[in-house]
């Protein structure tokens, strides 16, 4: 089940919805139209997904097992395959 973010559609709203709140809902649940605490009109906010940056534990063998292909940059516009299926080298030329 995904988390959805909501924010008050118009001022004032309460402390709960004025700055936004997060709700865990099923995909087929209808979107909220009112704040559960004060009844103010709310709207769903589209936000970027959470991404992990920096070091990760994705080893080439794990990437291949998951069905992905990984490339690393070896030159300007040239990438070499390090894991998975696909062409061995991708070039801008």
Secondary structure (H, E, C), the chain: CCEEEEEECCCCCCHHHHCCEEEECCCCCCCCCECCCCCCEEEEECCCCCCCCCCCCCCHHHHHHCCCCEEEEEECCEEEEEECCCCCEEECC
User: Tens digits of per-residue pLDDT, 15-68?
Assistant: 888 888 999 989 899 999 999 999 899 999 887 776 666 666 677 788 888 888
pTM: 0.50
């Amino acid at each position: 089940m995904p988390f959805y973010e909501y924010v008050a559609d118009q001022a004032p709203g309460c402390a709960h919805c004025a700055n936004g709140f997060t709700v865990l809902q099923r995909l087929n649940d209808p979107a909220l139209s009112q704040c559960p605490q004060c009844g103010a009109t709310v709207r769903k906010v589209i936000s970027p997904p959470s991404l992990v940056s920096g070091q990760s534990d994705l080893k080439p063998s794990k990437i291949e097992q998951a069905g992905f292909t990984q490339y690393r940059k070896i030159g300007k516009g040239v990438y070499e395959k390090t894991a998975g299926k696909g062409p061995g080298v991708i070039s801008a030329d």
